[in-house]
Structure 1
Amino acid sequence: MKNTFLVLFVIGLLFGCGNKELSRKETVTTYYKAFDSGDFEKLKTVIHDSITLIPGDFVMPFDKNSFNEFYKWDSIFNPSYEILETEEKNNDVIATITQNNTRNAFLKNNPLKLKVKVSFTSGRISKIEELEYFDVNWDTWSQRRDSLINWIQLNHNELDGFVNDMTLEGAQNYLKSMKLYEAQE
């Protein structure tokens, strides 16, 4: 009987240690590291069955499959994320991050530094809301984006619509549009 109890205790201890829940801060760190390293399988372990991204006035709800499409879109721009600070506030994590990528570089705002609020459901990320941007020149951003859109409409109409196409093909067209535009500058 003692041996059975000891064996069960050791097995329980081993399995208990292997299934340790991540803290909210660790979950946020895992999320951005997975984005940074291109590891969607790891990313899936820390997001809820549904996740909502809220950049500004836009609300973008995803399930895991549609989030994978967004992930593919983002990956085309060779993103690099760095967490500068995290703070737990109630049941959320407030994080200040930087995002470097080719799209931000084209729009003359690289790195993009922002504060986000990350919310959780059952220990997994269910919502990321952008709260504040730091040192972003929105006039330059808008001017570069609008110039690109107008130039593409006039010179490469087959790529028109790339800016609102959040699919892999849309991102590839966005990247192609930026390269064509820069070549003519």
Structure 2
Amino acid sequence: MLAKAAGRFETLTLVLGYCGLRFGEAVALRRRHVGDRVLTVRASATAVAGKGIVESTTKTKRDRHVPVPEPVWLRLEADLPADPNALVFSSRKGGFLPLGEYRWAFDNACAEVGIEGLVPHGLRHTTASLAISAGANVKVVQRLLGHATAAMTLDRYGHLLNEDLSGVAAALGKAIDSTAVSLRHSGREGEPETV
């Protein structure tokens, strides 16, 4: 609902919310960085006082490949420019999309659908929480978001990981039951079976 309410920024909002890109990474995406259901994040565009919007390397100074969920891909693919050097998400005036231009539409969309206090960077947290609730491990979430370390990911999102020790024990029990090779063997006569 939020993405639809964002109007011309529907696709950008979907990419931010389901792919976890930073705003600057999304607005630096060029057509050549978009493959078949994957985004190659190589740059970031950031507003610099006195210089305007400047393109630089990513926060970690490393490329990353981000998968695009099928429903988002269908929308993104339909909006892609033909020129490989064209920006995927650009300003109405051309060039890099300023955060202010997006925020105006985003804030109005939030008000329209009744969401209070959300900022565009919060959509990154949406991606992380959805990935964790889908069972993604910490290393996968780290790679998805482009964090420098898994510790950074754990520090930020560790509270979302399931801490239910009973649930872990139940999952381990299911794993034991489903294994093809028996984990039990008989001990010597009179000794208990061991695992």
TM-score, structure 2 as length reference: 0.24
Based on CA coordinates, which of the two structures has the bigger radius of gyration? Answer: 2
**Please, what TM-score do these two structures have when normalized by structure 1?**
0.25
